[in-house]
Amino acid sequence: MRKQVTIDDEPAILDILDTAGQEEYSSMQDQWMREGKGYLLVYSIADRSSFEEITVFKEKILRAKDVDKVPMILVGNKCDLDDAHREVQVNEGEELAEQLGCPFMETSAKEKINNEECFNQAVREIVKMDKEEQAVDTKKAKPAFKCLIL
């Protein structure tokens, strides 16, 4: 899905690829990871195993891009569920985000909670890293962004 947005008065084009749980795309994931500039690492708050796989995805992205750091957001999805269904607590997400060195938020696709904000934050993280890289090597940032949901 391609989406044109304006974030903090800056235009951006998001190429959004959602490959979560789709094995038919697994062979293409490395290529998409190399091409992406920002990443949403998404787990279900009702599925501890999805939370535990997050660090594996982060390492896979870093290997595919051959870098030490990339713009990413840790996202706990399904925050609309009641506590009886919750397997991952908010503080666990916050702690993992701190370890990963990235922002954290919870969302609900069903109830449309923080959906747009997580993409906006991903773009902000990309812009922030681009500015840091420009300060080091004065390289100009590209206007298009690719964001992957894993």
Q: What angle do CA 121, 126, 129 make, to 5 degrees?
A: 125
Which domains are seen in the chain, by residue range?
Answer: 2-149 (3.40.50.300)
pLDDT value for 19: 66
Least confident range of 70-79, 89-98, 128-137: 128-137
Where do we find the tokens 């920002």? 38
Q: What residues have CB less than 8 Å from 87, skipping those under 6 apart?
A: 45, 46, 47, 48, 51
The pLDDT tens digits of the residues spanning 63-88 come to 989 999 999 999 999 999 999 999 99
Has this prediction a pTM greater than 0.95?
no
- Give φ, ψ of 123 to 5 degrees: -65, -40
Contacts of 134-142 with CB under 8 Å at 24 or more apart are 142/37
Task: Please give the share of the chain, as a percent, with pLDDT higher than 90.
Answer: 54
* Spatial distance between the Cα atoms of 118 and 142, rounded to a whole number of angstroms: 21
